[in-house]
Amino acid sequence: AQTVTQSQPEMSVQEAETVTLSCTYDTSESDYYLFWYKQPPSRQMILVIRQEAYKQQNATENRFSVNFQKAAKSFSLKISDSQLGDAAMYFCAYRSAGAGNMLTFGGGTRLMVKP
Amino acid sequence: EADIYQTPRYLVIGTGKKITLECSQTMGHDKMYWYQQDPGMELHLIHYSYGVNSTEKGDLSSESTVSRIRTEHFPLTLESARPSHTSQYLCASSLGVSETQYFGPGTRLLVL
């Protein structure tokens, strides 16, 4: 079974600075997808970024980018120019490329943004 | 922004009551999911459906049941609510096997 680990329960960053959230996963599969979801106080899960394991290029979405290290099974999220609205819980998630489409979530990292 | 809706958003109810949490999506997604999330914790899959008349149990055992009579609708029912059912319930949907899951706003359930 796959597992996803987020080793940082809480992180804080100064507004306009850059922060990196860590995520590692364990799998024996070669084809899979990785996601970062954001969950603000409203509790709705919002997709931040998605990475296909077969793509070597790191995904980027505006101020959000990932550092995907397949051999190391690492998938960190970098938030540049942090904004107050970035404060939320961030969840890393894994999904096999095979049938099922089941998401396995990490335990989450609470990000605080200081003005 | 995804068009997936959940009602009610908040529910406080007494032990022993029957409750149904509603989830609807207007995107034509064939796959739908229910997750349970305790405060500050990760999400756990409790039910999923690949299409009409298809329902399966997820990784986390749950006393709830689900039905999928229409593509757009995936309600979750608890026949007799207990305080241990207090949690947040998140519904999600996706189109096809390789597509991203989009989440609804969630229902926060408190059973007294």
In chain A, what residues touch B98 (CB-CB under 8 Å)?
Answer: 33, 97, 101
Confidence at residue B13, expressed as pLDDT on a 0 to 100 scale: 95
* Interface contact B98-A33, CB threshold 8 A: yes
Q: Which residues contact A16 (CB under 8 A, 6 or more apart)?
A: A81, A82
The span from the CA of A41 to the CA of A88, in Å, is: 7
Q: What is the dihedral of CA A115, A78, A65, A111, to 10 degrees?
A: -60
Q: What residue type is B4 in one-letter code?
A: I
Per-residue pLDDT of chain A (115 residues; tens, 9 = 90+): 689 999 999 999 999 999 999 999 999 888 899 999 999 887 788 999 999 998 889 999 999 999 999 999 999 999 999 999 999 999 999 998 775 668 899 999 999 999 9
Mutate to test the interface with A, among B43, B49, B91, B95 (most CBs of A within 10 A): B43
Q: Check residue B91 and give its pLDDT.
A: 96
Q: How many CB pairs under 8 A join A and B?
A: 54
- Higher pLDDT: A9 or B60? It is A9
Highest mean pLDDT among A49-58, B18-27, B58-67, B99-108: B18-27
- The tokens 């899951």 sit on which residue? B101
Of A42, A97, A105, the CB nearest to B98: A97
Distances (CA, A) of B23 to A64, A90, B30: 30, 23, 13
Q: What is the mean pLDDT of chain B?
A: 91
- The nearest CA of chain B is from the CA of A106 a distance in Å of 6
Q: Phi first, then psi: what are they for A84, rounded to 5°?
A: -60, -35
Closest CA to A27 of A59, A76, A58, A71: A71
Residue A82 and residue B85: Cα distance in Å, rounded? 36
Is B100's CB within 8 Å of A35's CB?
yes
For position B62, what pLDDT does the model report?
86
